[in-house]
Copies of this chain bind each other. A is one copy, B any other.
Amino acid sequence: MRGRNPFDGKPQLTLRDVAEEAGVSEMTVSRVLRNRADVSASTRKKVFEAARKLGYVPNKIAGALASNRVNLVGVVIPSLSNMVFPDVLAGIGEILDGTELQPVVGTSKYDETHEEGVIYEMLSWRPSGLIVAGLEHSAASRAMMRASGIPVIEIMDTDGDPVAAAVGISHEAAGRETAREIVRRGYRKIGYLGASNFADHRAQKRLAGFEAGLAEAGITLADRILYDGQSGFGTGRRITETLMTRSPDLDFLYYNTDMNAAGGLLYCLDKGLDIPGRIGMAGFNAFELLDGLPMRIATMDSRRRDIGRAAAEIVAEGELSTARIALTPRFIEGDTVRAPA
C-alpha cells in the first residue's frame, strides 16, 4: 500500500502492458502514442488496437517527469463569480485550443496571501506558462514568478510594474476618459458608487483616474458610497437609493461595474427620473448580457476577451517575454448620457 489514492488496489495500466499485448517494445508504444512519425503503419495499428482494447490512459505524470515538459498553463484570477473572468478565460481558451496547451484555473479570492499559495501550488506542477490577474502581488509571489523560468504574464492592468510580460488596459485612463466624457456632456454634480473591497486595485485605479479627470475641469466628486458584498441588480438599486436620498441633487452616477449600474438604472426608471436629462449614469465592463435592458448603459469596454487572447498568445509562443501590451478601453455611449453640448 503506497498512498491513499484510490488508484491503489487497481493496478495502473502501463506502457509495458500495452507493449506486451501488441507484441512490441515499450519504446515503440510510447512512440505511437505520441504520434511520432517514425513508426510503420502496421505497428501503429497494432499498438492503437492494443491500447484501446486495454483501455490504456497514459500517465502524464511520468511522462512529464521524464520529458521535462508539461502542457499546462496556470491561470490565476480573483474569482469566477465576477463575470469579467469567465470572459478572460474564454479568450485564453480560444487561443490555447489551437495548441497542445491546457489552462488550469485557480482563484485568489482578492487575497494576496491566498494568491501566493495558489501560485506556489501551480508552479510546483512546472507549467509551461503562468497568467496572473493584476499587478499587485506579495513579495514572495513576485519572487516565485521571477524565478520560475517560465513565461509569466500579468493581465487586466497596465498601471504598475509587471514581473515580466503584461497585457491589459489602463484603468486609470479608463476612469479619466469616462470623467472627461461626462464633463463634456455637461454633468457637474457627480457621485461614485463602488465596492469597499480595498483589494480590487483596478476599481481603485479607475476611481483615481476618474477623480483626476474631473479635477481637470475643476470638479470634485460630490458624494460617494461603498458597499460590501457582491455586485448585482439588488446591490445597485440599494446603493443608488441610499446615495440619491442622501444627495438628491446629484446629476450623474458613476458605478464600479455595469451590474450595479443596471440596478441603479432600474431604480431611477422606477422613480420616473429623466435619464439622461435629469440624471446620467455610466458603468464599466460592457457586459453583453445586459443588452436587453430598457436603456443601454454608458460604459467602457474592458477588452477582457482580447486580454485573454493576447496573454495566451504570448504563452503559446513559448518564449520568455517581457512584452507590455496596453489595449485601449473604448467608451460606449449607450442611452444614459446626454449628447455633448
A interface, CB within 8 angstroms of B:
2-10, 12, 55, 57-62, 64-65, 67-70, 80-81, 83, 86-87, 89-90, 93, 102, 104-107, 120-121, 123-126, 128, 143-144, 147-151, 230, 232-238, 259, 262-263, 266-267, 270, 288-294, 318-320
Residues of B contacting A107 in the complex (Cβ-Cβ under 8 angstroms): 93
| Chain B min CB distance to A333 (Å) | 18
Residues of B contacting A104 in the complex (Cβ-Cβ under 8 angstroms): 104-105
Most buried by B among A2, A83, A149: A149
- A58 touching B124 in the complex, CB below 8 Å, given contacts A292-B232, A292-B266: yes
Closest to A128 in B: B5
**How distant is the Cα of A270 from the Cα of B293 in the complex, in angstroms?**
10
Copies of this chain, count = 2
| Chain B min CB distance to A45 (Å) | 18
**How distant is the Cα of A270 from the Cα of B266 in the complex, in angstroms?**
13
**How distant is the Cα of A238 from the Cα of B143 in the complex, in angstroms?**
51
Residues of B contacting A68 in the complex (Cβ-Cβ under 8 angstroms): 2-3, 5, 7-8
Give the contacting residue for A102; candidates B5, B60, B121, B267; CB below 8 A.
B121
| Chain B min CB distance to A67 (Å) | 5
Most buried by B among A5, A8, A86: A5
Give the contacting residue for A294; candidates B81, B259, B270; CB below 8 A.
B270
A to B CB contacts below 8 Å, 10 in the list:
A59-B126, A61-B61, A80-B86, A81-B87, A232-B290, A233-B289, A234-B291, A234-B292, A237-B292, A238-B292
Residues of B contacting A232 in the complex (Cβ-Cβ under 8 angstroms): 288-292
Residues of B contacting A70 in the complex (Cβ-Cβ under 8 angstroms): 5, 61
Residues of B contacting A121 in the complex (Cβ-Cβ under 8 angstroms): 102
**How distant is the Cα of A5 from the Cα of B100 in the complex, in angstroms?**
13
**How distant is the Cα of A232 from the Cα of B58 in the complex, in angstroms?**
41
- A150 touching B5 in the complex, CB below 8 Å, given contacts A233-B293, A259-B289: yes
| Chain B min CB distance to A271 (Å) | 12
**How distant is the Cα of A93 from the Cα of B267 in the complex, in angstroms?**
34
Contact in complex: A233, B128 (CB < 8 Å)? no
Contact in complex: A120, B57 (CB < 8 Å)? yes
Residues of B contacting A320 in the complex (Cβ-Cβ under 8 angstroms): 6
| Chain B min CB distance to A117 (Å) | 10
**How distant is the Cα of A4 from the Cα of B100 in the complex, in angstroms?**
12
Residues of B contacting A67 in the complex (Cβ-Cβ under 8 angstroms): 2-3
| Chain B min CB distance to A28 (Å) | 19
